[in-house]
Amino acid sequence: METKNTDLSSLKIDRSERNGGSGSNIKLYKTLAALILIIVIILGGYLIYNSIFTSAVEVKLTEAVLQSPSQSSASLIASGYVVAQRKAAVASKGTGRLVYLGVVEGDKVKKDQIIAKLEDSDVKAQLESAEANLELNKAGLTDAKNTYDREKALFRTGSASQSDLDAAEAKYKQVLASIDVAKANVDGAQVALENTIIRAPFDGTVLTKDADVGEIVAPFGASINTKGAVVTIADMSSLQVEADVSESNIEKITPDQNCTIILDAYSNYSYPAYVAKIVPTADRTKATVLVKVAFKKYDSKVLPEMSAKVLFLSNLDKQALTNEKAVLVIPQTAVANKDGKQIVYIVKNDKAVEMTITTGRQFGSYVEVKSGIENGDKVIDNVTDKIKDGIKVKVQ
């Protein structure tokens, strides 16, 4: 057959074309890998460069606040509370049911004024009994004295014996002693009756009412059903601010040092004051020393237990710094000079933004800001040469 003579070599598979296609794909993969590597290297280099040469500058912020001139120029500021130096929880010396209470919170009282009474019927009965016993003994005294005088006269004439005279004398002395005891019982009953009356120990103002009519009052409040104090009163002319000052700052305070007191309830008003006493002991648990600051003058807005700030003034200028209108201030370290202008930096979108301001008076480490920023705005403190407009910053 002719097929036998057919060249079998034509039946071989030609692999040269297939191998050539595979080689081109490998080149393509290598090219893509090289491009990806180059992109990664470029991006990594950019990130490294950006982190090294354009890293964010760490900054601290400070807030623009309204302060009085005295507060801004203070060498030390401490917190404390208004405390009445003369204060008493008025209680009864006796025990009984409260039947009268003549004052309420806010009432003014005078020394020895009756402010409350306890039930006294039993005490009055004891007093009446003691007085009756005294009168009985006084009546017996007359008879005993007459008998004694008569026995003495008879003894002088020899009509009475010595024993009769001694018996009459002993009876007379016994009656005298009984009268002394009866008088003491009367005095005790009168004291017990007086103890049912509760009086004001000094001129003051009632701060709290601690018991109500009908409750049992006892000197020490022996049980949960009894009351110790009836009212609490304070001498409003003895108000001072007691402030805890750190041991490390106590050297900045001297007796009679001028101060300014600002009540937290009335932050826009201040009171002139002075250091009245530095208590000569420290609190080991808080590492503080108690300083008592007295008002030079104050009004009815000042109440006991109000929280307050005490500004210990560094200068003793006689000009009145108190009661001046509060001004907007920032630390001087937050202000920089640029081209003859005074500027501050605020932070927006993690970048420093330059703001031009107008400044006024200086108060210690603070400076008044007249325009450019407002109360509550936060600016970068401790401005250095690294801080530029638009630079990336990181707030600590």
Confidence of residue 137 (pLDDT cuts 50, 70, 90): confident
Rounded distance between C-alpha atoms, residue 182 and residue 180, angstroms: 5
Residue 135, pLDDT > 80, answer: yes
pLDDT score of 318: 44
Q: Which domains can be identified in the chain, with CATH numbers?
A: 57-68+325-395 (2.40.420.20), 71-86+239-313 (2.40.30.170), 90-119+198-234 (2.40.50.100), 120-195 (1.10.287.470)
Count CB atoms within 10 A of the CB of residue 126.
17
Per-residue confidence (pLDDT) for residue 35, from 0 to 100: 83
Q: How far is CA 387 from CA 204, 336, 347, 353, 367, in A?
A: 60, 10, 11, 10, 20
pLDDT in tens, 64-114: 887 766 666 667 889 999 999 999 999 888 888 999 999 999 999 999 999
pLDDT score recorded for residue 92: 85
Q: What is the CA radius of gyration of the chain?
A: 48
pLDDT in tens, 187-235: 999 998 998 999 999 999 999 998 899 888 887 655 556 677 899 999 9
What pLDDT score was predicted for residue 279? 94
- pTM > 0.75: no
**The pair of three-digit structure tokens given for residue 347, joined into one six-digit string:** 């932070």
pLDDT, tens digit, for every residue of 226-268? Answer: 677 899 999 999 999 999 999 999 998 999 998 889 898 887 7
Q: What CA dihedral angle connects 39, 42, 45 and 50, to 10 degrees? A: -100
- CB–CB of 246/283 below 8 Å? no
Closest alpha carbon to 334 in 62, 82, 149, 99: 62
> Region 5-26: what's the mean pLDDT?
55
